[in-house]
Structure 1
Amino acid sequence: MEELKAIRKSRKKIVSVNASSSKAELLNEELIEDRLVNRSLEKGLLLEFKKDSDRILLAVAQRPDGKKNWMVLDQNGVTSSIKRQQVTYIVPGISNFDQAEIAAFVQKAQDNMDPSLLEFAWSELLEKNKSVTVEEMAEIIFGSVEPLERYSAHLLLSKDEVYFTVVETTGLRCVYGPRPNEQVEERIRRKVAKEAAEKEFQEFIKLLGSAKSMPSQDKPSKSSWKDDEIIWSRIKSLEAYAIDACKTDEQIKTAGMILKKMGLAKTTSSAVNLLINIGYFPVHVNLDLLKMSIPTDHLEKITSAAQSLLSDSSDPDEINRKDLTNLKVYAIDVDEADELDDALSATKLQDGRIKIWIHVADATRYVQPGSIVDREAMRRGTSVFLPTATYSMFPENLAMGGMSLRQGELCNAVTVSVVLHDDGSIAECSVFNSVIKPTYMLTYESASELLHLNLEEEVELRILSEAANLRLKWRRQQRPKGQNYIRTVLFLYTLIGMNRTPQVMMGMC
């Protein structure tokens, strides 16, 4: 109690109680009691009401609005129609309050908001095991029950989450009891942790604002957001919200808090734009890829592992590879292809039959089963080819390097050799590891043009075209044979490959 007395003295609160006014005060207290218990309203009363879930305002009652509502003019100069249930407190002892004075009244009440006052009062009341009303608390901590002190006590108690709890409520009149010491200690710990978390969250919001204001070339890289586990979790929550893929309520809550703190609407488009503005999403982000969980980049450890594989010159199958560098090799694909992984060769044997080689870049030359690169490729399952981009199952440096066939360079491959009968059926075939040296990198259009020119030096390309026609003729003859035909075609699709130029490959199977 000595601490409270010292605080009162420092605040210079002088309370004079005039005996002659005690009767009037008693009458006023009865009137105040009626207003608090029954929420009785009349023009000029200063009241506190809940505007919405986040805002509590002071206002002056103006007039009834129908049978149940009242028109009030709040501290911001806004007139509203409110229900009696929205009223959270009626400031006692005040009538005909001037709305222009609300701001000053609020400021004075805020000046009285010293949580240490509650701590001292709690200690005293806990020792006495005593509960108090707002008025009694005002007397204890301010030494006064004037309207300002009462409202200040109400604010302290209504906002307190540590020292006191409501033990009785009648209308707007509440009775507060001191919490047990153990509860207070636990709540203080929670409060400290909450304040630290709020401070850290505010730092995160500042980080987003900073990234948002940076020029495009200076924005943080996507991978840099992963450096801090908490930051990364929040970014992933925002990403999940952006693509409507939140798996938990916590993700939705986190994303909503971020958008609110950034002054943005709680919509998926707001989340997308924010992620673009901080540099996490590219400007032309493909949301469908994200919704289908198709990864668009590789982790640094995967890329580094791939680079190490490229630096390793050893070849576990070197002694078993056939040297086919004497063959003319045609790699044919679309003009936009970033990587070429298969090619064709052909010749005519002395007996007139056609022999074809189908070369496929040997990925196993670089990737050992169970390695980190292999596991990542298995997780992805396939490369994704879009009109605007390609997302490879292997890191780009590997997919477009060692795993691609490169013109004029020695390349490791797995080769299927096929000899055709005169009717287009397969006479013999074999599969083996090889070394090739691609001669041409052709588009479908350029391959067709070379065929049309009928150049003598491109006899191998004409042989490929002839083989395609033989295979097409043979396939058409097999159609009536039903399921056996289907199984044969599926096998040959796998063995030889059908998705090539119409002129070169349409008849090959």
Structure 2
Amino acid sequence: MVLQPKGSRLELSVGFQGRRQQLPQRAIEPISPLPPGASAPERLGVFPWLFSAEDLQQAQPRPRDFAAAWLLLLEADQELCLADWVELVASSTDPVVLASCWLWLHGSQLLFRTRHQGIAARAPHDLRQLRQDRHRIALQQRRQSQWQEALQRRQPLERSSLDPRQQADLDLLIDWASGRGVGELPVELRRALQAAHCPADSGAIRHLLVDLGQWQAHHLPSLQDTCWETGFSAELEAEAQQLIERAGSALPGDDQRVDLLLQRCVTIDDADTRDIDDGLALERLPSGDLRIWIHVADPGRLVAAGSPLDLEARRRASSLYLASGILPMFPEALALGPLSLRAGQTCAAWSVGVDLDAAGAVSAYRLVRSWVRPTYRLSYEDADELIELAPPQERDLSDLHRLLGRRRDWRVARGALLMDQPEGRIRVQAGEPVLEITEPSASRLMVAEAMVLAGSVVAAHGMEHGLALPYRSQLPATLPPGAELDALPPGPVRHAALKRCLSRGHTGATPSPHFSLGLPAYVQATSPIRRYGDLLVQRQLLAQQQAGRPLEAEAVQALLTELEGPIRQGIQISREDQRHWQQVWFEAHRSGQWMAQFLRWLRPQDGLGLVHVDELAMDLAAQCPGGSEPGTALLVRVHRVDPLRDQLQLVATA
């Protein structure tokens, strides 16, 4: 009802509640004037408009009356004012009928269109199109409602049961959960997420997708669509099978290998390691001196440079180490088969024979391609027992341990830093996270020293012959004064102070000293089944020994640059995997408390520090009390953990 004019606007009383509103005059469509002498009431339902909402409903003509009026108006091809149109429909000018018809006209009907000039019948083809559009919109709304209900229920669903648009929404959610989402989600999808009480962030969306059965709880986004996830193609697997079948045949260069089959070679690895790429042996010379032999698997005997398998190994750059196991650089049947140094089998190898002087320096060495036959395979626990007991019939390991200890002392005298300590990792067994702590036992230290010795000999050989190799180096560092280090508790706290001073290692085609190893040059050369750079070392050595043409430094550097990307990606995936399983482990132990030592501040402004938890053998970030100093004793507990959100917050208290 119009109460009074307000300039170019009209003040209205709207509906049976009398809600006040002002609208422009051009937006008002008169329906019926007040009776003579009547004043404008405050609302509907009082004099002179005594009708109710029910009266309006009852006054509405029947649908067939509107349809008949549509046919008549269509044939007449004219437009009518509201009063004339209502008289055509209902044969009445009663204000209640006028109001009822006006409401119907401005509702969801399709028969008539209203314009400033009046009311006209819609053309049949327009009517059909509008009905189709309305049906399509209703169908979309129904599907959207069903989609929202499905998200709200958070029950597993079948992708095949979704229409293409819903499948596209699901793909968008998966992209966001994987961290690949770009821009904002569509408005309708955001509304659906709101209805499901799911914020539009990757962690919350992962939770939703897990409930819907569309995301594995332990899926690694960084692993998705990588060569490690897709595995090896059928063609590469077929090529690997062909090499396995050729392994027992005579191949070029086999007759030039040195026969070391009678050596008592042993391989020492973790009990679950299956690709064996190094072994140790001791040769007792007629003079009574002892010679250390480090035997390294020779994949190059079977895998030719530039072959599809070689190019795939280069694309991966290394094997990938996950909590659930290893994803190999070569197909598993090949890596675990003829490429490995298997006990009791004749195996192709590169062998480094080293004589040490009384101080532990290398007095002589041999570097040859060989045939070896590992006598037996040992776990580190087995090797520790043999080293400790040193039975007369098995003295080799004890003597090797003593010799390599001498070599270790030699490196320490030249500045090498020893920072051996227990290391904790989360492994996955039967789908569950298990804490595994690796102790720096006698056999582990012995094997590690042997690998460093082999790498230093290969580097020295490369320097002597001007050979471009992937030399691993580290810049010199200024360490804290001795008195300052001595004041720190030995072990993790002191090691953390040393590590802060060290620069990152660098790999380049020319030799350079390695500070923390105490070596003038060093090359990683003992894992060619697992690292492509080690295989490159063997190929360079072979070309040099056979008077071939080794790659020049520029070509080696270009290849190392090519390997940097996949190596960095593999490290990132491995770290993300370990971080995730750490979070899963802490989620299962969220009520636990652990004693820790403060190591250093990470972000002092946020109270974030690095602590070492002895019981877990881990360095972990935690909220630490202000004023904490290296060595401060703390108690660590879980404050918040959510693996799907990549969230772990530990709190340390004094």
**TM-score between both structures, scaled by the size of structure 2:** 0.44
Equivalent in 397, 415, 419 of residue 354 of structure 2: 419
The residue that corresponds to 1:456 in the other structure is 392
More deviation in 293-302 or 418-427?
293-302
1:244-278 per-residue CA deviation (whole Å, 9 max, x = no partner) reads 552133x46575255357x3433435422221123
Judged with a 3 Å threshold, the aligned counterparts in structure 2 of structure 1 residues 452 and 282 are, in CA distance, closer, same or farther, namely same
Judged with a 3 Å threshold, the aligned counterparts in structure 2 of structure 1 residues 381 and 201 are, in CA distance, closer, same or farther, namely farther
Structure 2 residue runs of 5 or longer lacking an equivalent are 33-42, 47-51, 417-474, 477-510, 528-654
Question: 2:353 touches 2:365 (CA, 8 Å); kept in 1?
Answer: yes
The residue that corresponds to 2:519 in the other structure is 489
Judged with a 3 Å threshold, the aligned counterparts in structure 2 of structure 1 residues 453 and 238 are, in CA distance, closer, same or farther, namely same
Question: 1:410 touches 1:437 (CA, 8 Å); kept in 2?
Answer: yes
Q: Percent identity?
A: 12
Whether 1:272 and 2:206 are equivalent positions in the alignment is yes
CA distance in 1, matches of 2:84, 2:406: 104
Determine helix, strand or coil for the equivalent of 1:356: strand
CA distance in 1, matches of 2:98, 2:193: 42
What displacement does 1:452 show?
0.9
CA distance in 1, matches of 2:123, 2:215: 51
Equivalent in 367, 376, 391 of residue 430 of structure 1: 367
Question: 1:345 touches 1:357 (CA, 8 Å); kept in 2?
Answer: yes
Equivalent in 281, 285, 291 of residue 346 of structure 1: 281
CA distance in 1, matches of 2:126, 2:176: 37
What displacement does 1:345 show?
1.8
More deviation in 397-406 or 413-422?
397-406
More deviation in 469-478 or 366-375?
366-375
What displacement does 1:469 show?
2.3
Whether 1:149 and 2:80 are equivalent positions in the alignment is no
CA distance in 2, matches of 1:228, 1:393: 39
CA distance in 1, matches of 2:394, 2:146: 68
The residue that corresponds to 2:407 in the other structure is 471
The residue that corresponds to 1:246 in the other structure is 181
Determine helix, strand or coil for the equivalent of 2:106: helix
Q: Which amino acid is the alignment partner of residue 468 of structure 1?
A: L
**1:124-139 → structure 2 map (5 Å cutoff):** none
CA distance in 1, matches of 2:339, 2:57: 73
Determine helix, strand or coil for the equivalent of 1:61: coil
1:306-344 per-residue CA deviation (whole Å, 9 max, x = no partner) reads 654554333479514557654444443445x55444322
1:196-230 per-residue CA deviation (whole Å, 9 max, x = no partner) reads 777777787788799x645xxxx87xxx88x9987
Question: 1:356 touches 1:418 (CA, 8 Å); kept in 2?
Answer: yes
| Larger helix share, 1 or 2 | 1
CA distance in 2, matches of 1:341, 1:490: 29
Question: 1:406 touches 1:438 (CA, 8 Å); kept in 2?
Answer: no
CA distance in 1, matches of 2:351, 2:297: 8
Equivalent in 279, 293, 297 of residue 356 of structure 1: 293
CA distance in 2, matches of 1:404, 1:135: 96
CA distance in 2, matches of 1:200, 1:308: 47
Determine helix, strand or coil for the equivalent of 1:419: strand
What displacement does 1:470 show?
3.8
The residue that corresponds to 1:9 in the other structure is none
Whether 1:314 and 2:241 are equivalent positions in the alignment is no
**TM-score between both structures, scaled by the size of structure 1:** 0.53
CA distance in 2, matches of 1:274, 1:380: 33
CA distance in 1, matches of 2:83, 2:135: 29
Determine helix, strand or coil for the equivalent of 2:209: helix
Question: 1:137 touches 1:153 (CA, 8 Å); kept in 2?
Answer: no
CA distance in 2, matches of 1:228, 1:301: 31
What displacement does 1:453 show?
1.2
Judged with a 3 Å threshold, the aligned counterparts in structure 2 of structure 1 residues 379 and 180 are, in CA distance, closer, same or farther, namely farther
**1:64-83 → structure 2 map (5 Å cutoff):** none
Question: 1:367 touches 1:373 (CA, 8 Å); kept in 2?
Answer: yes
CA distance in 2, matches of 1:102, 1:280: 50
Judged with a 3 Å threshold, the aligned counterparts in structure 2 of structure 1 residues 435 and 240 are, in CA distance, closer, same or farther, namely farther
CA distance in 2, matches of 1:433, 1:460: 20
Question: 1:416 touches 1:496 (CA, 8 Å); kept in 2?
Answer: no
Q: Which amino acid is the alignment partner of residue 514 of structure 2?
A: I
The residue that corresponds to 2:17 in the other structure is 61
The residue that corresponds to 1:49 in the other structure is none
Judged with a 3 Å threshold, the aligned counterparts in structure 2 of structure 1 residues 41 and 494 are, in CA distance, closer, same or farther, namely same
Determine helix, strand or coil for the equivalent of 1:494: coil
CA distance in 1, matches of 2:304, 2:399: 34
Judged with a 3 Å threshold, the aligned counterparts in structure 2 of structure 1 residues 271 and 415 are, in CA distance, closer, same or farther, namely same
The residue that corresponds to 2:634 in the other structure is none
CA distance in 2, matches of 1:408, 1:451: 20
Structure 1 residue runs of 5 or longer lacking an equivalent are 1-27, 47-59, 69-82, 169-173, 498-509
Q: Which amino acid is the alignment partner of residue 524 of structure 2?
A: T
CA distance in 2, matches of 1:459, 1:264: 68
